Amino acid sequence: MNPGLLIRWNSARARELDVIFGAGGIGLTIMMEPAAKGKRTRIVSRSGKVNFLSEGVEVVKGDACQK
């Protein structure tokens, strides 16, 4: 499993959303870039908790490996 995976989603009906799978060191580092630019950002972690979170970042509980 990739420790930090960034997916960009864009629709005419919604603002661009950056989704990062993985809340480890790499995922948190990846999260900082779009959040610093004021982009809508969501981070997905297995526990649904993140120790360090940039302002405006949404945390969602989920497992990228689960079917």
- What is the number of structural domains in the chain? 1
* pLDDT for the residue 51: 84
* pLDDT for the residue 1: 44
- Whether residue 66 is contained in a domain is answered as no
pTM for the whole thing? 0.72
Spell out the long-range contacts of 55-59 with Cβ–Cβ below 8 A and sequence spacing 24 or more: 57/31, 59/23
Half-sphere exposure of 65 (CA within 13 A, CB side): 5
- Whether residue 50 is contained in a domain is answered as yes
- Whether residue 67 is contained in a domain is answered as no
Residue range 5-50, pLDDT digits in tens? 666 666 555 578 899 999 988 999 999 999 999 888 999 999 999 8
